[in-house]
Each structure stands twice: as structure tokens, then as C-alpha cells.
Amino acid sequence: MLRGWYGLMGLGGGVFGLVAERRPFGTDVLAHPLVVFFIVAGLALLVLRVWLARPVSEVIPERALLLGCFVGAAGFLIGNWIGVRVLSMG
């Protein structure tokens, strides 16, 4: 379960980072792709909580949740770098 959490956060952050330069959600601070990514991740955790009918912290420990957020942010930065430096060259 933890590998899936880390993998999905890294992949999701990378995808949001790839499109970050285009600002697809608008130019407001709350519409920044990194903020939207964490909102989507939070909503996914709420859905997981309702679906499992038990606290998320019983399934994913708090430290792993926090580390997953850092993995997602790192994935966002890597995806943003790829989107700006590599994909814009072509």
C-alpha cells in the first residue's frame, strides 16, 4: 500500500508539473497546479477514508503521508523542469 501511495503521489506530481507552465486552471494563487495537485490528493484521501470506513492513518501512517507529500512535490518539480526545459525545446 505504501509503494502505491508514494508512486501515485510522485506520478501525480509529475503530471501536474508537466502542465504547470501553461497554467491550465487560471492565474490565481489557489489555481496554481501545485495547489490543485494537493487539493486533489486531499480529496482522494477523503474518498479513501469514506470507502474504507476507517481513518486513513490506519492504512497509511502519518509519516508516510507526509513523505508522500514530499515525493509529490519533488515529482512536481521534476515534471515542471521536464515541461519547461525538455519539452519546450522541440
- Encode pLDDT of 53-83 as tens digits: 999 999 999 999 999 999 999 999 999 999 9
Q: Greatest CA separation found in the chain? A: 48
Segment 21-60, tens digit of pLDDT? 999 999 999 999 999 999 999 999 999 999 999 999 999 9
Q: So what's the pLDDT on residue 90?
A: 58
Which residue range(s) make up the domain with 74?
Answer: 2-89
Helix (H) or strand (E) holding 34: helix 33-52
Reported in sequence order, the residue ranges of 1-90 that DSSP labels E, i.e. its strands, are none
pTM as predicted: 0.91
Angle at 32 between CA 49 and CA 41, to 5 degrees: 15
Say yes or no to pLDDT of 1 above 90: no
Domain count, the chain: 1
